[in-house]
Amino acid sequence: METFLLLVATFFGYIVMYWTYGRFIAKKVFKISGQASVPAKELEDGIDYVPTRKGIIFGHHFTSIAGTGPIVGPAIAIIWGWLPALLWVFIGSIVMGAVHDFGTLIISMRNEGKSLSEFTARYINSRTRFLFFIIVFITLWIVIAIFGLIIAIIFSMYPTSVAAVWLQIPISLALGYFIYKKGANIAVASIIAVLFMYGVMIIGRYIPIEMPSLFGLPATGIWTILLLIYAYFASVLPVTTLLQPRDFINAYQLLIAMALLVAGVFFSALGGNLELVAPTLQLNPEAAPPMWPFLFITIACGAISGFHSLVSSGTSAKQVSNEKDALFVGYGSMLVESILAVLVIAAVAAGIGMGYTAASGETVTGVQAWTTHYASWTAADGLGSKIGAFVIGAANMIASTGIPHQVAIIIMGVFVASFAGTTLDTATRIQRYVICEIASDMKINVFRNRHLATLLVVVTAALLAFANGADGKGALTLWPMFGAVNQTLAALALIIITLYLRRRGSLFWLVAGPPALFMAVMTLWATLMNQADFLDRLQWLLFSVNGIVVIIVIWITAEGIVKFFHSPKTIDPIPD
């Protein structure tokens, strides 16, 4: 029952903080106004800039920022104990992550929907724009390549999920057609689409799809190619054709999955089968790095993630139709993602104890189940291991509601793969925006074309994915540094928000300043420790790329500090 009570307490805390701290930041700090002009209307083009209803853009924004992030991070960080993971997710999301997401969304909306790297020049100086572009490009480059692999791994682990994930695409296209071309009721049409999607899961149960090796390429390599081709088309199509309707479906899927998880926690606790089998605190797990600072870069999505700033200032700022919607979209979606991370913590800290099949084939329960999976840092390492821990724990809890365990696994497999797919195509679109913006600044007109820019995005991601061979796992080469780079981006985004608020001449910059300092210290600390480790292991590629990141972080942070103490009191009028 303690697991259920923890969930109730944290959920109540999120609601209270949204209506108090969130509204304070929106109304008093950023002074959002329903009368303010927004880029979705001022620059409407029917492709990228599209005024969108609050509920739909919330669905898009949430599914884009979530992906597998709030699953993978907590599923590995639990090795330090459930308490530090839960505290970081809860406190971090409220005072850092949601401020970060909402702040970058509003600033982008007040700068023609431009990306974070583009408006950096306005709030620091033009020198930092290109440096910021490098950080953003590296982050998205790894995300696109790795998320193609993640989905491929999910397909290999759970072949019953393949049919539903791919058939979601035509269902989404049909949903977009009926809503935007035929004027169908959004809620009714979306519910019907969701029912269709869950219906096709039956196909997956009876017809699992396992990709064979073809032309010398293993299954993961073939899936990665197909997914990158899909990402190209998803990125260049108007957002109303595929991106919005698919994300709206995924928003309902999220609500259903979270409802099932909550119900699973309740019924499991009611039956006395849900105990916290993970340790409360474990400072020195075998072969693991130190909790400080690595907890804060291992759990990103769910607490704070730099990738979110790219979504806020990439796609979402071009679609929010009213500044007042930004609180729900930016701050609210971060808290909902954090709730998902809490549910993941429950699944891997308690649900896994209800039954776990070890490599030997033996089924173990309780603390033994947890220690079998988390025997050491290396035992719990690998994307498949992290995802598997959540899916197994979640399916165990959901099965307590009466849903067959195998069906629960299919539901969770489709859930994880669908969200990873959303992150893949959103990241591709954002990378295209970034390339178009930098091409415009450098007068390279050829890459201002969205098709050529997207082709460059996909080709560079493919080069990384297949850098080490035909299995598409090349992005794993840079994966060890991704957490620090991603959180570095979050620190830099908070610096921009701090400078933006500082130029208003009030103390409201304090809502972003201390979080910016905390994240800068944690991520630079972790990045320098990684640098020493890469040197010790003679991993020269990681050492070189990580070294560039260290230099850029120190440079931009120094520029930000100088600007903080020499910025004018005001630059833009804030609507009353």
Cβ atoms of residues 51 and 40 within 8 Å: yes
State the pLDDT at residue 1: 65
Predicted TM-score (pTM) of the model is: 0.88
Cβ atoms of residues 128 and 496 within 8 Å: no
State the pLDDT at residue 293: 92
Is the Cα dihedral 169, 162, 228, 253 positive or negative? positive
- Taking the domains of the chain in order of start, what are their residue ranges? 2-289+296-469
Residue among 434, 279, 271, 400 at smallest CA distance from 345 = 279
DSSP 364: E
State the pLDDT at residue 379: 57
State the pLDDT at residue 434: 84
Bridge partners (DSSP) of residue 363 are: 357
State the pLDDT at residue 552: 85
State the pLDDT at residue 549: 84
State the pLDDT at residue 571: 47
pLDDT < 70 positions in the chain? 1, 359, 376-384, 567-576
Question: What digits encode the pLDDT tens for the residues 40-85?
Answer: 999 998 888 989 888 888 887 887 887 777 888 888 889 999 999 9
State the pLDDT at residue 53: 83
State how far the Cα of 373 lies from the Cα of 396, in Å rounded to an integer.
Answer: 15
State the pLDDT at residue 380: 55
Tokens of 445: 């007109």
Residue among 172, 55, 209 at smallest CA distance from 418 = 172
